[in-house]
Amino acid sequence: MSVKFTFEDDTLICRLQGEIDHHTALPIRLETDDRIESCRPAKTVMDFSGVTFMDSSGIGLVMGRYRLLSEMGGELEITGLSSNAYKVMRLAGIDRIASVKKGGIKNGDK
Amino acid sequence: MVTNEFKMSVDSRSVNESFARATVAAFAASLDPTLEEINDIKTAVSEAVTNCIVHGYKNCVGKIYITVKIRDKNTLIIKIRDKGCGISDIKKAREPLFTTLGGDRAGLGFSVMESFTDKMTVRSKVGAGTTVTLYKTVNGREK
């Protein structure tokens, strides 16, 4: 599991890769929060197109980042959810707090 | 009638979450499930195993016992048991968004298990442990 970050035009893109569960969520969370706090982006995009598995730990990951970003006045966008990940996210009503886009981000290999 | 069965036990370490769900999914592969069905099974198992680790054995490392049976050719019965602290109020624990942990846990473990399987039962005794049983019929790629 890994996260790759790019910060451009006040937008922080976090590309998540691999499996998200309770075991892998903690390092992702720490790294992402670190990056959000140092960049203080107007917009943060969590891109799930490289995620091969996700359970409800993914919900906590999004909700926690959402809380952090709202304190800073930043917005959150979710992209690249697989149909399985979308099914999990929908249970939590994630689409009510963040803008959810199904497709991934292009030029994604940086 | 049970036609195939598999049992294992594994330490309640979070690194084993991926091992447990992948192993159950590999056993279920003989039923020729669709990708979606495999994902449903992996997700539900992941939630149950995580519960054993973060709740059942929250202050220690214990064993998680997993039994999978195939009944009537295409129904999986997945039993995930711990000998941990147990749940005092199962009804409350099953409520969506209820969590005793806070932080980044969403309180949706049981909700995910319920919606990703056909049926879920929870038996628990404080001080003795918890058994979650998941039922999932695999229709596969209709022949």
C-alpha closest to that of A46 among B108, B93, B132, A54? A54
Is residue A5 classed as helix, strand or coil in its secondary structure? strand
Per-residue pLDDT tens digits for B88-101: 999 999 988 888 87
User: What is the strand order of the sheet A11-20 is part of?
Assistant: A2-8, A11-20, A43-54, A75-79, A99-101
CA A37 and chain centroid, separation: 15
Active site residue B105: yes
Higher pLDDT, B84 or A102: B84
Q: Predicted ipTM? A: 0.91
Residue B132 parent element (H or E): strand B129-137
Q: How far is the C-alpha of B34 from the C-alpha of B12, rounded, in Å?
A: 29
Phi-psi map region of B127: left, alpha, beta (phi>0 left; psi -120 to 50 alpha):
left
pLDDT of residue A99: 83
DSSP assignments along B3-54, one per residue: EEEEEEEEE--TTHHHHHHHHHHHHHGGG---HHHHHHHHHHHHHHHHHIII
- Would you give the distance in Å from CA B36 to the centre of its chain? 17
Of the residues B4, B13, B95, B105, which is catalytic? B105
Question: Within a domain: residue B142?
Answer: no
With a cut of 80, say whether residue A108 has pLDDT above it. no
B103/A64 Cβ within 8 A: yes
Which range (A7-11, A84-88, A92-96) has the least confidence? A92-96
Residue B4 bears catalytic tag:
no
Q: Quick check: is A69 in a domain?
A: yes
Residue B29 confidence (pLDDT): 95
Pairwise CB contact (< 8 Å): B103 & A56 = no
Q: Which domain holds residue A61?
A: 2-101
Cβ(B76)–Cβ(B135) below 8 Å? yes
Contacts of B104 in chain A (CB under 8 A): 25, 29, 57, 60-61, 63-64
Q: How many domains does chain B have?
A: 1
Residue A105 has pLDDT above 90, yes or no: no
* Cα distance between residue B29 and residue A100, in whole Å: 32
Residue B103 touches chain A, beta carbons under 8 Å: yes
Window 56-95 of B: residues touching A by CB (8 A cutoff) are none
> Closest-CA residue in chain B for A84?
B39
Measure the CA–CA gap between A39 and B26, rounded to whole angstroms: 42
Of B36, B43, B50, the CB nearest to A88: B43
pLDDT the model gives residue A1: 83
| Count of structural domains within chain A | 1
Mutate to test the interface with A, among B19, B50, B104, B134 (most CBs of A within 10 A): B104
Position B143 in a domain:
no
* Residue A110 domain-assigned (yes or no): no
Q: Which of residues 118-137 of B touch A (CB under 8 A)?
A: none
Beta strands B75-82 and A11-20 are unpaired
Which CATH number does the domain housing residue B29 bear?
3.30.565.10
The verdict on a CB contact (< 8 Å) between B18 and A23 is yes
CATH of residue A49's domain is 3.30.750.24
Examine residue A109 and state whether it is found in any structural domain, yes or no. no
Spatial distance between the Cα atoms of B45 and A60, rounded to a whole number of angstroms: 18
Residue A108 in any domain: the answer is no
**Residue-range definition of the domain harbouring residue B76:** 2-137
Let me know if residue B132 belongs to a domain: yes
What is the DSSP pairing of strand B63-71 with strand B2-11?
A: antiparallel
In a domain, B38, yes or no: yes
